[in-house]
Each structure stands twice: as structure tokens, then as C-alpha cells.
Amino acid sequence: MTSFSLTLLFVSALVASLLVKFWLATRQMRHVAAHRGAVPGTFAQTISLAAHQKAADYTLAKARFGLLSTAFGAAVLIGWTLMGGLDELNQFLLQTVQPRWGGMAYQLSLLGAFTLVGGILELPFELYSTFRIEQRFGFNRLTWKLYIADTLKGVLVGLLVGVPIAALILWLMGSAGRWWWLWAWGVWMGFNLLMLVLYPTVIAPMFNKFEPLPDESLKARVQALMQRCGFAAKGLFVMDGSKRSAHANAYFTGFGAAKRVVFFDTLLNKLTAGEVEAVLAHELGHFKHRHVQKRIASMFALSLAGFALLGWLSGQAWFYTAFGVRPALAAPNDAVALLLFMLVVPVFGFFISPLFAQLSRKHEFEADAYACAQASGTDLAAALLKLHEDNASTLTPDPIYVRFYYSHPPASERLAALPLTPSHQAG
């Protein structure tokens, strides 16, 4: 392949992806706006018109903002690649850092500078989303003080965790020979598995408080559910999610003996004990059907393919010149190859994303079915409706938009698949 043909392929994929994204977004906006005036008949008795219209307005606001951020992201991508932004940054650091501090310092500084510039460019969009859109619809509870504290903690974690793993992968790229990508993949997978253990016990508590579930009645009910499902967890915790957002959630985190069940305090404030049990039963369904293991296996396979591809591309001069970068002759190009790969591959990956969304929706249906077998389908339906309403999720998404983007089935499809009668009642 020549650099010109790769450039042409990249531009074609970028233009095609932008056209599809804009087409899907405009479909979604038209569909939601057209159904804003009336609650769908299926939900007429449970969702108020005011809540339905709030969800429509929230969806439209996010979609409009999404169009702007998508266009800006594409412009930034072109700026980094075809317009020579990455090359200019790389040449500057080659001349200033590499001669004085050596190849590894130069490469780490390139990764760091790229991350810093990217963060600054994305900052206005992040702030507008949080402090304007989320604030407008009553979801944001993040103060400026807490936002700054979170940012500083995030930078600290990034330095302590990101720099060592980046340095190790860069060292392997330069020292492990032809098969460096296989060694690097093994390191990357080991790192991800380690993070499954460290995140819930070390990193997450830096940002949120996790306290043992105080409601003894609910605790007994949850433990009984987990026992009959054959699931063991290290603890049941309540997270103070309300200090940042009004959105509610519950999740499992950790790996092996470090697994934890975490409830947002906002979730416990909105759902009854039976509804909490049903939501937890849904999450247990993911484990029962081994969805988590399947996703980890998929991540292993995709990352292996990605490292193998990077291993080949990093040795091809046309890979760099196709995206406006001049490969260094007297310094390693590994950090440049990593950055180019991370910039370019998502453009092509966009076209297979509907397959992963479809698989995710299938898993959600399976987890719902399991929840109805272990708890109450009626409670699960009630919980889903409350969460849809409280999170302002639209009840009338565009069907094609759903097929392309939604990782969870829309409410109408999801509730239609539930047996709305109690199949099991915990004592």
C-alpha cells in the first residue's frame, strides 16, 4: 500500500462516517420531536406528559450538542493528521527533548503533550455538557470545587498508572524484537486484569465514598438473592453518586474475590426494596450468562488483533507519511505510531460498532429474562420505568438510531419482553 492510497482510504472512511453520524442524528432528532406532544399509549398510565417532554427536550439538547462535538472532533482529527499537527508537535519535541534527555523521555513527553493538548481542546465541550446541559435538566450536582479536585486526582492517577504502562510498552516496542507486539499485548492484558482488582479498592475510593449498605432488611434480601444465584461478593456498598449527578445506577465491579456490589445512593432513594432486588437480579444475569467473561474474551481478541496490526504498521514508512508525519531517522518512532494508531483506527471501527451494540442488546434481554426468573418481573418493569423517567431517557427513539447506537434495548421493546408477574418473591 502507498501513503496516498492510505490517505484516500482514511479520508473516504472519515467522510462516510460523518455522513452516517449526521444522518442518524437528524433522524433521531426528527423522530423524538415528532412524538414529543403525546406519551406513547403503552406508557400513558405510568409516565406523565411533563416527564415525557422533558426526556424529549433532554435528548434533543444532547443530540444537537453531539452534532457540534462530532464536527469539532473531526476537525481536530484532521488537524492532528493531514494538516500536520502531530508532526509539528513531534518535530518540536525531537529538537528540544530527545537530544538532552534521550529517546524514552522524548516519547513519553510526546504522549503527555498530545494528551494535554487534546484535553484542553475537549475541555469547553466537557464543561458545557456538565454545567449547561446537565445543569439545565437538573442532573448536575458537581460543584466547581469538586470538578477541580476530580481533575487533579485524575491527572495524578493518570501519571501514577499511565506513565509506567506507557513506558513499558514503549520499551517493548524498541527492545523486544519482531514479536514485540505479542509481549506488549500480554502486558496490556495483565494490566487490564490488574485494574479490575485495583480500581474498586484503590482508585474509586479516591473519588467517591463507599459505605456498607445500612438497610439491614434490604441487605438480607440482596444476600438471599445472591445466595440462590450462586454469586459471592466481597461486600455490598452504597456510593455517594448524588454529589456529582442525579442519575441513578447500580453495578458490579472487581474481579474474582474482589467483586463488589455497588448501589448509587440516588438509586436507593428512588426504588423500593423489590425493585432494587430486581435490578440487582438483572446484573446477576450478566454473570450467570457469563457476559462479563465473554466481553473480556472479546477485548482480549480485539486487542491482540490491534497490537498485531500496529506491529506491522509501525514498521511501514507509508503509515507515517500518509498522515502527515515525517518518521524520525535518529530517534524511535514508537510513540508516534501509537498515537497515529489511536487516532486513525476508530474511524474504521465506527462501521462495525452496530454489531457490538446488537450483541449488547441481546445480553440485556438475557439478563432481564434471568432477573424475572429470580425476582419479580413486575418490580423490574417498575424499576426500569422509574429509571427511564428519572434519567430522562426518551421513550420514542428512532428505530434505526437504536440499531446503530443503543447498547440497551429501548423501553418499549424491553418492557414488552418482560413477564409482568412475580415469578419469585424473596422473604
Residue 116: inside a domain:
yes
Q: Grid coordinates in use for 390?
A: 428519572
pLDDT of 30 > 60? The answer is yes
What would the pLDDT profile of 390-414 be if each residue is shown by its tens digit? 888 999 999 999 999 999 999 999 9
What helix, strand, coil percent values describe the chain, rounded to 5?
A: 75, 5, 20
Q: Is 368 one of the annotated active-site residues of the chain?
A: yes
CA geometry: angle at 41 spanning 39 and 46, to 5°? 70
Most distant CA pair in the chain, distance: 72
Return the DSSP state at 178.
G
The answer to whether residues 300 and 321 touch, using CB atoms and an 8 Å cutoff, is no
For the cut 90, the answer to whether the pLDDT of residue 7 exceeds it is yes
Does a structural domain hold residue 55?
Answer: yes
- 286 marked as part of a ligand binding site: yes
Tell me how far apart the alpha carbons of residues 44 and 152 are, in angstroms, rounded to a whole number: 46
What per-residue confidence (pLDDT) applies to 257?
A: 59
* Mean pLDDT, rounded, for 69-84: 96
364 is in an annotated binding site: yes
Walk across the sheet containing 250-253 and list its strands. Answer: 210-212, 236-239, 260-264, 250-253
What value does the mean pLDDT of the chain take? 91
**Interval 138-149: pLDDT, tens:** 989 989 999 999
Average pLDDT over residues 160-189: 94
Please indicate whether residue 216 is annotated as part of the active site: no
Indicate whether 314 belongs to any domain: yes
C-alpha cell, 126: 466537557
283, 379, 389, 390: the active-site residue: 283
Question: Using one digit for the tens of pLDDT, what is the confidence trace for 253-298?
Answer: 766 656 778 888 888 888 899 999 999 999 899 988 999 889 989 9
Q: Using CA of residue 110, residue 112, residue 113, residue 115, what is the dihedral sign?
A: positive
Q: Where are the alpha helices (DSSP H) in 176-272?
A: 180-198, 204-207, 216-229, 265-270
User: With 0-12 CB in 10 A as exposed, 13-18 as middle and 19+ as buried, what is 180?
Assistant: buried
Tens digit of each residue's pLDDT (9 = 90 or more) over 209-232: 988 888 889 989 988 998 888 887
* Predicted pLDDT of residue 427: 36
Question: 182-207: per-residue pLDDT in tens?
Answer: 999 999 999 998 888 888 888 888 99
Decide if 79 is inside a domain: yes
Range of the domain at 133: 3-179+309-350
Is 218 within the bounds of a domain?
A: no
Q: Residue 27 falls within a domain, yes or no?
A: yes
115-134, pLDDT tens digit by residue? Answer: 999 999 999 999 999 999 99
Q: What is the DSSP string of 261-311?
A: EEEEHHHHHHS-HHHHHHHHHHHHHHHHTTHHHHHHHHHHHHHHHHHHHHH
Is residue 26 one of the residues assigned to a domain?
yes
For residue 173, tell me if it sits in a domain.
yes
- DSSP letter (8 states) at residue 245: B
Domain count, the chain: 1
Catalytic residue among 134, 334, 368, 398: 368
Return all residues near 135 (Cβ < 8 A) that are at least 6 apart: none
SS3 of residue 333 by DSSP = coil
Cβ atoms within 10 A of the Cβ of 197, count?
A: 16
pLDDT at 421: 55
Q: With 60 as the cut, is the pLDDT of residue 422 above it?
A: no
